[in-house]
Chains A and B, each alone.
Chain A
Amino acid sequence: AQSVTQPDIHITVSEGASLELRCNYSYGATPYLFWYVQSPGQGLQLLLKYFSGDTLVQGIKGFEAEFKRSQSSFNLRKPSVHWSDAAEYFCAVPQRGGYQKVTFGTGTKLQVIP
């Protein structure tokens, strides 16, 4: 069965510093991969998606993620964090074909300090 692991529950970074959030997946074939962001008390917003092709994916709000098959990873990065990036981030793997069931990671909460 497919699974997604986000090993970091909580991360704190200084404003202007770089950010990397980790995501590891378990899937029998080449997966589709998503990153979502959730602000407090809100729904999830899609940041970026990987389907195939170029392994470096650009998303909204200056985020990017790199698919590494050899490491079963899809880490999210941002070169310079802004205070408004404080939120919870979820990595997700959809089941391909037919009904669109999605497996979500448990999330990483990002705190940004001045």
Chain B
Amino acid sequence: DGGITQSPKYLFRKEGQNVTLSCEQNLNHDAMYWYRQDPGQGLRLIYYSQIVNDFQKGDIAEGYSVSREKKESFPLTVTSAQKNPTAFYLCASSNEDIQYFGAGTRLSVL
């Protein structure tokens, strides 16, 4: 089945540690996105990529980094510079007007 796979489902980060969230899609979409979701704040855009080897900062990119080496993959690294990383992270991909979402990764701080 076509879709977006995020892993792991749960992730724990220690102080000063970088962690990477995986996002893979087999929908053949060019564009991919990362959102952060906090209670009562909706979805906030972290990074997006319209094409391989190109990506742009969203509204809250500080403390995060991404890469887009393959069309299918768009991993997100939460760096130690992100002081409040506890949140639910959603990856999406789109074909023109509609975004499709993965099941999310919940990141917590130990």
Contacts and interface: CB of A to CB of B under 8 A. Distances in A.
B40 A106 contact: yes
B42 A51 contact: no
A42 interface: yes
Given A9-B40, A90-B42, A102 B104 contact: no
Contacts of B67: none
A94 B31 CA distance: 14
Nearest to A96: B97
B92 to A, nearest CB: 8
Given A51-B97, A99-B50, A100-B94, A43 B102 contact: yes
Given A99-B31, A99-B50, A101-B48, A46 B43 contact: no
Contacts of B48: 99, 101
Given A105-B42, A107-B42, A43 B96 contact: no
B40 A100 contact: no
B86 to A, nearest CB: 15
Contacts of A41: 88, 103-104, 106
B53 interface: no
Contacts of A96: 97
Nearest to B4: A43
A44 interface: yes
> Considering residues A34, A90, A96, A107, which has the most beta carbons from chain B within 10 angstroms of its beta carbon?
A107
A87 to B, nearest CB: 14
A30 to B, nearest CB: 14
A104 B40 CA distance: 12
B104 A90 contact: no
Interface in B69-109: 88, 90, 92, 94, 96-104, 106
A14 interface: no
A30 B17 CA distance: 46
A45 B101 contact: yes
A46 B88 CA distance: 19
Nearest to A105: B42
A46 B98 contact: yes
A101 B45 contact: yes
